[in-house]
Chain A
Amino acid sequence: MTQIDYLDQTGGALSEVVQSEPVVPVVRRKRSVSVGLSWSWLVLVVVLAALVPLLPVSDFDVAAGPPRTPPGFGNGLDLLLGTDNFGRSELSRILYGARVSLVVGLVAGTVAFVIGTFLGLLAGYFGRWVDAVITYVTDALLAFPPLILLLSISAVTKPSLFTLTVGLTILVIPSFVRLSRANTISWRSREFVRAARNMGATSPRIIRREILPNVLPTVASYLPLVIASLIVAEGSLSFLGLGIPAPTPSWGGMIAAGKDSLDDAAYLVLVPSVVVFLTVFALNQIGDSLRARFDRTASD
């Protein structure tokens, strides 16, 4: 068996050398195992979180079993990941918590993406005072360490899903403005843009038809990374007790609630920690792979 394999290989190599026509290798997209696994994890979390009211698990705010039941099979779905200090199902709380994290991350990320890209296009395309105003406000927002900015927003608002999302949106708009502005500047002086202008295209049309299609993929490829950082930010706020108010569960809040019983019920911290890690890691892996494909500046 090995003998034949060996012969086959040398045969293949020889015929390649003899071949006189140029061989154009098929460009094969690298399929990475970790990116595949990342997509599977995200799809799993999203589907389960979306369907959780239909699943045979109890509500997040009622006792499903004795308090502090450690995770284990054989006790039914509700007790799969154990119960918390009040006997509420950890699995149910993780899944309802996923809804908060995902909705906040997705909505804040997308809204910031739209607003930030638009402002970046304006700043990069028009330059001068438009650019100056937008850049200064962006710089000022970036001058706050992220969590401090969120904290000062939560100091003046009542924590709710809406204010949380607004705060997180403000937090990440500057990153999108910078990305979109830098990309716009590099496309704005290209020949096809000048050609469009010479043919009499107006600025709105040039921005929409010539520049936007080129800027969009690059900026959008950062979206998963931003959503990951938003989930971290939401988790940090909930951990500090300044996120979504109880009894709505959130991953950060679950870790904070479990940290006092680390000594005798460590799974209360470990379970949500693993879920947060896997989700953030998956989003980062997907973001990196998308960036490698769509961001020209990140290719080296």
Chain B
Amino acid sequence: MTLSGTLRKVARSVLVVLLVTFMVVALLSLAPGSVATIILGPAATPESVAALNEELGLNDPVFVQYWDWLVNALHGDLGTSLLTDLPVTEMIADRLPVTLELALLAQVIALGIAVPLAVAAAARPGSVVDRFTSAIASASLSIPAFVAAPILVYFLALQLDLFPVSGWNDLSEGLGPNLESALLPAFAIALAEIAAFQRLLRTDLVSTLREDYIAAARAKGMSPSFVMMRHAFRPSSFSLITLLAISTGRLLGGTVIVETLFSLPGLGSLVVNSITARDVVVVQGVVAFIAVVYVALNTAVDLGYGLLDPRVRKEVKA
């Protein structure tokens, strides 16, 4: 990729990040019960609210408020919680590992199941295996997390007693207990990912297997499994890698349901709890953080694409 192309993409995502954070700050500064009333609690009088609003700069125009927020954020300060007085950055750092582990574990499970299924389906398009897996995939894409998670709990945790129903064991308590508490939630998250990955990889494999060089490899007498794994798999995996990166970013904010159901101390449950407690500053900080990470990941994927696939590199240069 050319340097100017890279710069243009980076500049574009910086602009998107600015817009996103502005939306977050503007939206939450419109909050009906203002921050001051939350801080002062029931003892608030109109005069004390007005005084505190003035002190916190909440009477300033939204652009000024945003500028202040942005300057602080760039100095690593996302404000302090209205309830616990902890810095928001500290709260994020505290919760991020749980969400990250869930997301990564879910992706590993999803890949481990989706890739063999996709290869099996693509080996004989239209076969019983292919039709069966694609039917299952399209069905499981229609199962929302808030349906899948309780049902998995019912069958795997309550009926078969394989996993604990809820709760979280930190990695510091050892890998075994940690995985025991993380596997079921991760599987609940992975369910929809499996279907998406399987569909995408199957389609790409089928179209790669129609290429001339595959016919040549087969004509040379190479075994079907060798052709599949060494000739077809790598060039077919690029869209899967893209989807993988994008959906990992999406999962940072997409584990909310599962975190709430299993009462796991992650970013998602932090957002939900803060909304219920009307802790606007924390909501603002976490949402901005998630959105910025998501944009950054997408940009990185966009830029990294050329490194993976030589064909893209050439096209851009030409």
Asked if A259 and B261 sit within 8 Å, CB to CB, the answer is: yes
Asked if B28 and A155 sit within 8 Å, CB to CB, the answer is: yes
A110 at the interface (CB under 8 A from B): no
Chain A residues 258 to 281 lying within 8 A of chain B, measured CB to CB, are 258-259, 262-263, 266, 269-270, 273, 276-277, 280-281
Q: A288: which B residues are within 8 A, CB to CB?
A: 138
B300 at the interface (CB under 8 A from A): no
Q: B278: which A residues are within 8 A, CB to CB?
A: 155
Asked if B20 and A144 sit within 8 Å, CB to CB, the answer is: yes
A139 at the interface (CB under 8 A from B): yes
A240 at the interface (CB under 8 A from B): yes
Name the contact of A145 in the complex, choosing from B23, B31, B294 (C-beta under 8 A).
B294
B121 at the interface (CB under 8 A from A): no
Asked if B20 and A156 sit within 8 Å, CB to CB, the answer is: no
A152 at the interface (CB under 8 A from B): yes
Inter-chain CA distance A183–B272, complex, in Å, is 38
Once A137-B19, A155-B31 are accepted as A-B contacts, the answer to whether A145 and B280 lie under 8 Å apart by CB is no
Interface centre among B30, B146, B253, B291, by most chain A C-beta atoms within 10 angstroms, is: B146
Interface centre among A144, A153, A262, by most chain B C-beta atoms within 10 angstroms, is: A144
Once A140-B16, A273-B151 are accepted as A-B contacts, the answer to whether A284 and B253 lie under 8 Å apart by CB is no
Asked if B142 and A145 sit within 8 Å, CB to CB, the answer is: no
Chain B residues 279 to 297 lying within 8 A of chain A, measured CB to CB, are 280, 283, 287, 290-291, 294-295
Once A143-B295, A269-B151 are accepted as A-B contacts, the answer to whether A236 and B290 lie under 8 Å apart by CB is no
Q: Is the interface of A mostly helix, strand, loop or mixed?
A: helix
Asked if A277 and B143 sit within 8 Å, CB to CB, the answer is: yes
Q: B276: which A residues are within 8 A, CB to CB?
A: 241
Q: B150: which A residues are within 8 A, CB to CB?
A: 255, 258-259, 262, 269, 273
Chain A residues 48 to 68 lying within 8 A of chain B, measured CB to CB, are none
Residue on A with the closest CB to B294? A143
Once A148-B291, A284-B138 are accepted as A-B contacts, the answer to whether A269 and B145 lie under 8 Å apart by CB is no
Once A139-B16, A273-B147, A280-B142 are accepted as A-B contacts, the answer to whether A147 and B28 lie under 8 Å apart by CB is no
Q: A258: which B residues are within 8 A, CB to CB?
A: 150
Asked if A277 and B254 sit within 8 Å, CB to CB, the answer is: no
B271 at the interface (CB under 8 A from A): yes
Chain B residues 228 to 254 lying within 8 A of chain A, measured CB to CB, are 249-250, 252-254
B162 at the interface (CB under 8 A from A): no
Q: Nearest Cβ distance between residue A102 and chain B, in whole angstroms?
A: 16
Residue on B with the closest CB to A153? B27
Would you mind naming 14 contact pairs between A and B with Cβ atoms under 8 Å apart? A136-B19, A144-B253, A155-B280, A228-B142, A232-B144, A235-B144, A235-B147, A236-B146, A239-B257, A242-B272, A255-B146, A255-B147, A255-B150, A258-B150
A-B interface, 10 closest residue pairs, ranked by CB to CB distance from nearest: A145-B253, A140-B19, A281-B142, A148-B253, A239-B146, A232-B144, A280-B142, A156-B31, A273-B147, A155-B275
| Chain B residues within 8 Å of A, Cβ to Cβ | 15-17, 19-20, 23-24, 27-28, 30-32, 138-139, 141-147, 150-151, 153-154, 158, 249-250, 252-254, 256-257, 260-261, 271-272, 274-276, 278, 280, 283, 287, 290-291, 294-295, 298
